[in-house]
Chain A
Amino acid sequence: MSTLSDVFAAAKAESRAALIGYLPAGFPTIEGSKDHLRSMVESGCDLVEVGLPFSDPVMDGPTIQAAAEQALSAGFRVRDLFDVVAAVSDAGGRAVVMTYWNPVLRYGVDAFARDLAAAGGLGIITPDLVPDEAEDWMAASEAHGLDRTFLVAPSSTEERIAMTARASSGFLYATAVMGVTGARDVVSSAAPALVARVREHTTLPIGVGLGVRSGAQAAEIAGFADGVIVGSAFVSAAGESDAAVRALAADLAKGVRSAPATV
């Protein structure tokens, strides 16, 4: 079975960073999200993050908030998430889920892990769950063979970076800016410094996200990180057309190939 380490190892073997694209399940519709995610995979995303729409997304900016609202008001249910993940896996793509923690708690942490693994998902990114509160998730992820991606931020102390890295598997998510999700014009200057700090504590691959939207920005980040994570820009593209999604993925895929990998 393919794992997240394989995804990053394969990219590294090509001397490049991995491209990771995000889209909420159920946006613009359940079938539409499956189509777009498959297109992202076909057009160069090494990994996709399937978002679980949540009523109170405190880490997200307006673009992803609006997409989540649209999915929920169209009747999206948590069980649909596994269906979308399975569609990616069945098409030969690799998927992780990105979700706020309350829907997982409500579903049951172990049941969620079980059903995600059954759908072929590789792990969960948890933006509002820190390792300090993750006892149940540690156990469930071990039991079902899923990877745990926790986040580190520019404000994280050395001690917390070390602790978070120890608790993570697959890859670590470094938030490039202090702020919520959303495409930005300039890559944060805090990102390279954060990645350098994280490397002092771990050999895990490091993905950098928040604010990336163009091939040029992807190339810049690929110069110091192992993975380039793009979210809001894909959501905007999915709001336009599948062709826009494919074009964006291709541009970003070119970007991660135009910079030499760091390690």
Chain B
Amino acid sequence: MGQFTPTPHDPDARGHFGPWGGRFVPEALIAAVDELATEYDKARLDPEFVNEFKRLLRDFAGRPSLLTEAPKFAEHAGTRVWLKREDLNHTGSHKINNVLGQALLTKRMGKQRVIAETGAGQHGVATATACALLGLDCVVYMGEVDTERQALNVARMRLLGAEVIPVKSGSRTLKDAINDALRDWVANVDETHYLLGTAAGPHPFPLMVRDFHRVIGIEAREQILEKAGRLPDAVVACVGGGSNAIGIFHGFIDDADVRLVGVEPGGSGLDSGSHGATLTAGTPGSLHGAMSYVMQDDDGQITEAHSISAGLDYPGVGPEHSHLKDIGRAEYFPVTDAEAMEAFALLSRTEGIIPAIESSHALAGALKLGPSLGPDGLLVVNLSGRGDKDMDTAVKYFGLADGGQA
């Protein structure tokens, strides 16, 4: 099955996955999302587009990414664990798959300007990279709080030629960066593509972003069959907006015996109210263009998410995850900041791989799931990104600068 082959799991023509998804956007943007949907429908069936995308994934991003067994980490999980190494992609995470696809689509639509939002800066850096490669103008909206927390990524984006605009409204974090990107898009839609970084937003973004990341699951399925001789019992991925998870899930979605497990940011614990576990603790609502589970109060005001991982710090989630949860095809549970940081340190020490704190949530999920599967069980964990960007957080969390030990 090809990466862009339509599936029985695709949304309807207006982007609905069951009651989820759709288009809850101002009329002014409908023409743009219609144009995008039409262009994507053509591109996904156009061998020239597909081949150019595959060429960039191979020759620029470094795909296929490896599947690495993690035997010493696995001793702690009580079951066999393989890691899908998205951390080895150029720019250090799965994000590059989607930005290369959308940047190519931007060129195809004859647009010259790209805008993007970013939280921790991974998607912003990936977008700035793709724009540098393809000669597109790039503007990245980033919450002012995040520009301070992630000054190095701001510098990387600027080095790559992007303009970084600190967002001073609202909570000055990721959701406000998306708000400002949407405001820019409404005003400049003729020449601008909004390169959304996750499988959320109005149709066709959830479908399109998922498809650009399906390569993760397609590769992982082939690799695990070749290396382990069988399908895994479960595929585990972290879920913020949910793009890496939906990408790897789709490689296995028709394998009914493979559990699809999404691990959410539990922050300081669900009881604390300080978390980002949208699917576990959220309620139905519309945010940033789609119906999905969202974190909101009784009045429908969106509440702030909290996670030690800036990349998971988002009060919404992609609509297909809401659908997969409702129909019972995927399961979701949270792990806390502390559990994620423990897994972060454990993988670093046992396997020589420093994972992103986002991906460390998936690893912590694997540590929880493992014992129930036993020594003959088999898990594939999506290691969605590398942890270099998280060293500041780790230094503070573990006191590494003062001779502390993780």
* A106→B30 contact, CB < 8 A: no
CB within 8 Å of B: which A23-68 residues:
54-59, 61-62, 65
* B286→A130 contact, CB < 8 A: no
* A130→B25 contact, CB < 8 A: yes
**A79-111 toward B: CB 8 Å interface, digit per residue (1/0)?**
000000000000000000000011111110000
* B299→A58 contact, CB < 8 A: no
| Of the residues B25, B28, B175, B303, contact of A178 by C-beta under 8 Å | B28
A155-163, A213-221, A233-241: which lies at the B interface? A155-163
**B264-303 toward A: CB 8 Å interface, digit per residue (1/0)?**
0000000000000000000111111000001010111111
- Knowing A128-B26, A151-B26 touch, does A103 contact B300 (C-beta < 8 A)? yes
* A107→B300 contact, CB < 8 A: yes
| Of the residues B175, B186, B188, B190, contact of A56 by C-beta under 8 Å | B175
- Knowing A58-B182, A102-B302, A178-B189 touch, does A130 contact B23 (C-beta < 8 A)? yes
Contacts of B188 in A (CB 8 A): 178
* A78→B25 contact, CB < 8 A: no
* B296→A153 contact, CB < 8 A: no
* A133→B30 contact, CB < 8 A: no
For chain B, the count of residues having a C-beta within 8 Å of the partner chain is: 38
How close is A119's CB to chain B, nearest CB, in angstroms?
Answer: 17
**B1-28 toward A: CB 8 Å interface, digit per residue (1/0)?**
0000000000000100000001111111
* B22→A155 contact, CB < 8 A: no
| Of the residues B32, B182, B283, B287, contact of A155 by C-beta under 8 Å | B32
- Knowing A56-B175, A102-B296 touch, does A69 contact B170 (C-beta < 8 A)? yes
How close is B136's CB to chain A, nearest CB, in angstroms?
Answer: 21
Contacts of B187 in A (CB 8 A): 177-180
How close is B145's CB to chain A, nearest CB, in angstroms?
Answer: 16
A247 within 8 A of B: no
Provide the bound-state CA to CA distance between A154 and B287, in Å: 24
How would you classify the secondary structure of chain B's contact residues: helix, strand, loop or mixed? Answer: mixed
How close is A78's CB to chain B, nearest CB, in angstroms?
Answer: 5
* A55→B170 contact, CB < 8 A: yes
Residue of A nearest to B22 (CB): A133
* A179→B186 contact, CB < 8 A: yes
| Of the residues A55, A72, A105, contact of B286 by C-beta under 8 Å | A105
* A77→B299 contact, CB < 8 A: yes
How close is A59's CB to chain B, nearest CB, in angstroms?
Answer: 5
Contacts of A150 in B (CB 8 A): 27
Contacts of A61 in B (CB 8 A): 183
**A111-145 toward B: CB 8 Å interface, digit per residue (1/0)?**
00000000000000001111011000000000000
How close is B393's CB to chain A, nearest CB, in angstroms?
Answer: 26
Provide the bound-state CA to CA distance between A135 and B285, in Å: 15
* A180→B299 contact, CB < 8 A: no
Contacts of B298 in A (CB 8 A): 106
Number of A-B contacts (CB under 8 A): 117
- Knowing A54-B301, A55-B170, A56-B179 touch, does A129 contact B28 (C-beta < 8 A)? no
* B30→A130 contact, CB < 8 A: yes
* A56→B302 contact, CB < 8 A: yes
Residue of A nearest to B299 (CB): A78
A232 within 8 A of B: no
- Knowing A58-B182, A178-B189, A179-B187 touch, does A106 contact B27 (C-beta < 8 A)? no
* A62→B169 contact, CB < 8 A: yes
| Of the residues B23, B283, B285, B299, contact of A133 by C-beta under 8 Å | B23
Provide the bound-state CA to CA distance between A106 and B286, in Å: 9
Provide the bound-state CA to CA distance between A128 and B24, in Å: 6
* B26→A55 contact, CB < 8 A: no
* B301→A129 contact, CB < 8 A: no
Provide the bound-state CA to CA distance between A160 and B170, in Å: 33
* B301→A160 contact, CB < 8 A: no
**B290-328 toward A: CB 8 Å interface, digit per residue (1/0)?**
000010101111110000000000000000000000000
How close is A74's CB to chain B, nearest CB, in angstroms?
Answer: 13
B31 within 8 A of A: yes
Contacts of B285 in A (CB 8 A): 102, 105-106
Provide the bound-state CA to CA distance between A65 and B167, in Å: 13
How close is B186's CB to chain A, nearest CB, in angstroms?
Answer: 6
| Of the residues A65, A154, A157, contact of B169 by C-beta under 8 Å | A65
Residue of B nearest to A53 (CB): B301
Contacts of B176 in A (CB 8 A): 56
Contacts of B27 in A (CB 8 A): 130, 150-153, 155-156, 160, 164, 175
* B302→A105 contact, CB < 8 A: no
A-B contact pairs, 10 of them (CB 8 A): A54-B301, A55-B303, A59-B26, A69-B169, A102-B300, A105-B286, A106-B299, A130-B27, A133-B23, A156-B30
Q: A residues within 8 Å of B by Cβ?
A: 54-59, 61-62, 65, 69, 72, 77-78, 101-107, 127-130, 132-133, 150-157, 160, 164, 175, 177-180
Q: B residues within 8 Å of A by Cβ?
A: 14, 22-32, 169-170, 175-176, 179, 182-183, 186-190, 283-288, 294, 296, 298-303
4 A-B pairs with the lowest CB-CB distances in the bound complex, closest first: A106-B300, A103-B300, A153-B28, A179-B187
